[in-house]
Amino acid sequence: MGGLRTAESLRRTGFEGEITLLGAESEFPYNRPPLSKEYLLNPETKIHFNLNHDTLQSEFVLGDAAVRANLKEQTVSTEQGKTFTFDYLVAATGLRSRSLKFENNLLTKRFSLRTMSDTEKLRTAISSGMKVAILGAGFIGCELAATLTKLGCSVHVIAPEAIPLALALGEDFARVIQRNHEAQGVTFHMNTSVKDLIGEDDIRGVLLGDGTTIDCDILIEAVGSLTNVEWLADNNLDLSNGLLLDHALHAVTPEGSLTHVYGVGDIARFPYAHRQLPARRIEHWNIPIEMAKRVAKDICFQEGLDVADYSPTEVFRPLASFWSDQFDMHILSYGELHLATSTKLLDGDFDGEFVVGYYRDDELVGVAGLGMRGVLNTYRAEISI
């Protein structure tokens, strides 16, 4: 999505040069949030973005991952041996699923969820009545737990933290999510981890750290992700946690910013506008859209085009947002909840719908709600990041 939105923004802003989109997946760009929800439930769900090729006027090179970039020579090489030259490079290669290693490191009937292909493989493997173990109680793990329960599976979620989603939403909010899951039949095993896998040729169960075992027909790992930045190595970039950028979303080297190289989306680590905090990555759906608009304006400005209301010194300052649907719960958030040092119930109550405020030094840095979207939206303008 980050690459597509950048190409679209370039055309809208007046860029007339050649645009090539390189992608590791063989699919045209699609929407990822439905993968753990609607698309897993129903393969007829439309997830591909609408493409106006006449307007986009771009070349898609699909199923051929970038493996090496030479930023001085301004080339990108691909897995299939192709080499592309560029005047501007936008790195929007996203994430891949993280996988754990076990002594009995079985792979059969073991899944993760990041791509359209991952969802299709999982859907083919599951059937009603199956026992499913999910490692990880973040958003993907909890969304999968809800979807698979709807499909008739018996779901066990295993995670080292005390409360699912507490790190993202805070303990009070997270307890409500856990109670609602448990009311639908999901079983949580918290404050523990998987020590090993059980089975010979394929997975039959998992051994937990406390010695208990859980039988399962399939195992799903939802234990985080890794940034796809290896192809950018050997260019003097900071790739320690994604690609480090400056305030204009240019890649950064010790010698200064590279004004012809940009980052967009989940791999992009960018600085705060007015806070003395380390640069951060934000893996939310709206961030690559906002980044794409900014990058397109900067490229067009460098090309000498008339870019209305744009200054290259303008600091990129997006308002992050995310949502998550689990059973009949609709969770919506604005801001950066992880910055908070305290929380406050702003409206409603934890037995029904509610809105929570997240504060740092008495400043509102985020809001999140279960339902109550209209009330939640009234706080957006008060958020200070």
Q: Which of 11, 14, 27, 96 is nearest to 60 (CA)?
A: 27
Per-residue pLDDT, 73: 98
pLDDT given at position 309: 87
pLDDT tens, position by position, 162-198: 999 999 999 999 999 999 999 999 999 999 999 999 9
Amino acid found at 40: L
Q: How far apart are CA 60 and CA 78, in angstroms?
A: 13
Q: Where in the chain is the domain with CATH 3.50.50.60?
A: 2-95+226-302, 99-223
Show pLDDT as tens, one digit a residue, over the chain (385 residues).
999 999 999 999 999 999 999 999 999 999 999 999 999 999 999 999 999 999 999 999 999 999 999 999 999 999 999 999 999 999 999 999 999 999 999 999 999 999 999 999 999 999 999 999 999 999 999 999 999 999 999 999 999 999 999 999 999 999 999 999 999 999 999 999 999 999 999 999 999 999 999 999 999 999 999 999 999 999 999 999 999 999 999 999 999 999 999 999 999 999 998 899 999 999 999 999 999 999 999 999 999 999 988 999 989 999 999 999 999 999 999 999 999 999 999 999 999 999 999 999 999 999 999 999 999 999 999 999 8
2-95+226-302: CATH class = alpha beta
List of long-range contacts for 179-185, beta carbons under 8 Å, 24+ apart:
180/326, 180/327, 180/329, 181/142, 181/145, 181/146, 181/157, 181/326, 181/327, 184/146, 184/149, 184/327, 185/149, 185/154, 185/155
CB within 8 Å of 271: residues ≥ 6 apart: 245, 246, 247, 279
Enter the tokens of residue 347.
């409206």
Just give the CATH number of 99-223: 3.50.50.60
Question: For residue 103, which of 37, 28, 197 has the smallest C-alpha distance?
Answer: 197
What CA–CA distance (Å, rounded) separates 178 from 160?
Answer: 15
241-256 in b/e burial notation, b at 16+ Cβ within 10 A? ebbbbbbbbbbbeeee
DSSP secondary structure code for residue 49 in this structure: P
Q: What is the pLDDT, as a whole number, of residue 31?
A: 97
> Residue 102 has what DSSP assignment?
-
Question: What pLDDT, on the 0 to 100 scale, is given for residue 274?
Answer: 86
Order of strands across the sheet that contains 194-198: 194-198, 205-208, 213-215
Tally of helices (H runs) and strands (E runs) in the chain:
9, 25
Rounding to the nearest 10 degrees, give the CA dihedral for residues 30, 35, 39, 44. Answer: 30
- For residue 3, CA distances in Å to 9, 30, 299, 302 come to 10, 11, 14, 19
Query: Residue 231 carries which DSSP code?
Result: G
> Cα separation of 64 and 93, whole Å?
12
Q: Would you give the distance in Å from CA 266 to the centre of its chain?
A: 6
> 152, 83, 141, 88: which is closest to 112 by C-alpha?
141
Report the C-alpha gap between 7 and 64 in whole angstroms.
18
The pLDDT value recorded for residue 27 is: 97
Answer for the pair 69, 84: CB distance below 8 angstroms, yes or no.
no
User: CB under 8 Å to 74, separation ≥6 — which residues?
Assistant: 85, 86, 87, 89, 260
